[in-house]
Amino acid sequence: MRTFCYLLLISLFTSLSNASIVEETCKNISSSHPNIAYDFCVSSFQSYNATSQVADQRTLAIIASRLANSSAAKTEARIQELMDKEKNQPRKNRLDVCMEEYSNAIDELGNAEQAIDAKRDTDAQVFLSAALDAASNCEDAFAEAEEACPLETEDGEYGQMAAIALAIVAALRR
């Protein structure tokens, strides 16, 4: 009887860990946030090998902030590339706004990661909300000039990743 219970516990634990935590979290988030795609969420965590490690919600929140951080760093590199070949000054200024936004976002994400780790979830939420704004502020800089934003793809991916981190932290607080 004891062995049976032990085995039952093990299989229960196994079924709740790894892949299913990622899948269940992504399912929860995408069902309440129409702009977060389930597949994007799962494949992002898979790229970090989060599905092959035991990951609790707090660990997933940290992984999501790191993924948002790499996305922000990748976007910065793309902005630099665009700025280097941009001759038009007003357009260069708009790219500069985006650069500033993403540079701040990287700082906020570092603060968020520390806050999540220290279980200061309210602070983490504030940092992540500020970081998330980088994507829409960058888009706005171009929208105000009625110009297509050359960073639409990057803003979209970064925005989803930052929103995933924020949603997980919001759920931690409940």
Q: How many residues does the chain have?
A: 174
Give the span between the Cα atoms of 158 and 68, in whole angstroms. 6
Write out the residues near ligand NAG by the rule CB under 6 A.
21, 24-25, 28, 48-49, 66, 69, 73, 106, 109-110, 113, 171
Q: What is the DSSP string of 77-119?
A: HHHHHHHHH---HHHHHHHHHHHHHHHHHHHHHHHHHHHHHTT
Distance of CA 6 to the CA centre of its chain: 37
At its nearest, how many Å lie between ligand NAG and the CB of residue 137?
Answer: 19
Residue whose CB is less far from ligand NAG, 11 or 49: 49
CB of 109 to ligand NAG, least distance (A): 6
Cβ distance to ligand NAG smaller for residue 108 or 155? 108
Task: For residues 133 and 84, give the distance between their C-alpha atoms in angstroms, rounded to a whole number.
Answer: 25
Residue appearing with tokens 């590199």: 77
For ligand NAG, the closer of residues 44 and 142 by Cβ is: 44
Least separation in angstroms between residue 148's CB and ligand NAG is 27
Closer to ligand NAG by CB, 97 or 170: give it: 170
> What letter does residue 37 receive in the DSSP assignment?
-
* Min CB(4)–ligand NAG separation in Å: 27
50 in Cβ contact with 22 (< 8 Å): yes
Smallest gap, in angstroms, from Cβ of residue 146 to ligand NAG? 32
Q: Cβ closer to ligand NAG: 28 or 129?
A: 28
